[in-house]
């Protein structure tokens, strides 16, 4: 299987963390691709995903799979023991998918915020206010549910949250979320000790920077 991959992508990181947890990381051939959210999309990605996004998983047989959530579900389905992390049915599955959807949307807000702020016209105040309000509300929800996440299997929900918090550390390094969210800080300290999380730390291999997004938690 070939994974369209970037060391900077929080959504690709979800796939890689799960692959390490399942012991199948070596089965993924990583194809470095640069996703281009502004301007002409990367044609190599477009050839596999017409929406131009990574991750995309090219299987040995059958159509490519698009989007981290489906790829995680697929890897859990084809790997022995995978359904311990994402059950095929039941409330445990519902909770994993719920947390994954919330954390993915939080990550999308963080990505979209930065993309909007790096445009030639900058970001308007109303859009910025929307991004900030959603980020604060998302973090508050996860702070409340952190004890449940810590008790759950390290499946798509906790993995997606790990990647959202990693995106905060990567692009919003001075936001101070740890001082404001003690339960999330405990969650992150525990997950940081997992080999799968340590092995997939975000790497800014292009050395790009961006504007100071002026997000501060108190």
Ligand X SMILES: N[C@@H](CCC(=O)N[C@@H](CS)C(=O)NCC(=O)O)C(=O)O
* Residues near ligand X (CB under 6 A): 9-11, 35, 37, 41, 52-55, 67-69, 104
3-state secondary structure of 57: strand
Residue number with CB closer to ligand X (41 or 211) = 41
> In the bound complex, what is the minimum distance in angstroms from residue 38's beta carbon to ligand X?
8
DSSP β-bridge partners for residue 57: 3, 65
Rounded CA-CA distance 120/131 in Å is 18
> In the bound complex, what is the minimum distance in angstroms from residue 204's beta carbon to ligand X?
13
User: Smallest Cα–Cα separation from 167: which of 105, 119, 86, 218?
Assistant: 105
Residue number with CB closer to ligand X (35 or 215) = 35
> In the bound complex, what is the minimum distance in angstroms from residue 32's beta carbon to ligand X?
13
Residue number with CB closer to ligand X (11 or 142) = 11
Q: Running DSSP on this structure, what letter comes out for residue 31?
A: E
Instruction: Please answer whether residues 53 and 13 qualify as being in contact, where contact means their C-beta atoms are separated by less than 8 angstroms.
Output: no
> In the bound complex, what is the minimum distance in angstroms from residue 218's beta carbon to ligand X?
28
Token look-up 């990367």 returns 42
Instruction: Please answer whether residues 97 and 157 qualify as being in contact, where contact means their C-beta atoms are separated by less than 8 angstroms.
Output: yes
Residue number with CB closer to ligand X (162 or 181) = 162
């Amino acid at each position: 299987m070939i994974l369209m991959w970037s060391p900077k992508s929080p959504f690709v990181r979800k796939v890689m963390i799960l692959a390490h947890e399942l012991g199948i990381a070596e089965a993924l051939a990583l194809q470095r691709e640069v996703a281009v959210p502004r301007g002409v999309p990367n044609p190599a990605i477009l050839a596999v995903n017409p929406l131009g996004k990574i991750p995309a998983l090219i299987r040995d047989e059958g159509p490519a799979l698009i989007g981290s959530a489906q790829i995680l579900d697929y890897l859990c389905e084809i790997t022995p023991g995978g359904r311990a992390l994402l059950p095929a049915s039941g409330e445990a599955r519902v909770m994993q998918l719920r947390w994954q959807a919330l954390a993915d949307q939080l990550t999308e807000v963080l990505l979209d915020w930065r993309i909007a702020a790096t445009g030639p016209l900058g970001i308007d105040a109303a859009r910025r206010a929307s991004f900030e309000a959603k980020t604060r509300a998302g973090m508050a929800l996860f702070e409340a549910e952190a004890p449940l996440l810590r008790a759950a299997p390290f499946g798509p929900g906790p993995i997606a949250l790990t990647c959202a918090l990693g995106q905060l550390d990567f692009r919003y390094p001075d936001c101070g979320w740890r001082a404001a969210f003690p339960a999330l800080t405990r969650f992150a300290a525990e997950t940081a000790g997992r080999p799968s999380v340590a092995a997939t730390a975000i790497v800014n291999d292009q050395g790009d920077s961006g504007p100071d997004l002026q997000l501060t938690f108190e």
